[in-house]
Amino acid sequence: MAVTRCVCFRKSLSELKDLAAQRGWTSVDEIAAATGCTTGCGACKPYVAAMLATGATCFAVKRANEELPQACTPDPWDRGA
């Protein structure tokens, strides 16, 4: 299973990446302030940070020993992610 979105605020990482590029956001705090993403359950926070750091919008579930989640290919049913 891949992580491609903030479930709490219903925004895909692709949407957040596009918004960040359009509005000049470069930090998780800026994305959080504008969209709410990362401020609900917080589970998406490392993935939003990894999206900003790498440009990827699909990640394998982060393992405890990984500093950042690893990019992966979206599942076939989640290609719009």
Taking the least distance from each CB to ligand FES, the nearer of 6 and 20 is 6
The answer to whether residue 34 forms part of the interface with ligand FES (CB under 6 A) is no
The answer to whether residue 2 forms part of the interface with ligand FES (CB under 6 A) is no
Selection from 44, 46, 53 nearest residue 20 by Cα: 53
CA distance 51 to 44: 10
Selection from 66, 56, 65 nearest residue 2 by Cα: 56
Of 19, 43, 49, 56, which lies in the binding site for ligand FES, with binding defined by CB under 6 A? 43
User: Which residues of the shown chain bind ligand FES in the complex (CB under 6 A)?
Assistant: 6-9, 37-38, 40-44
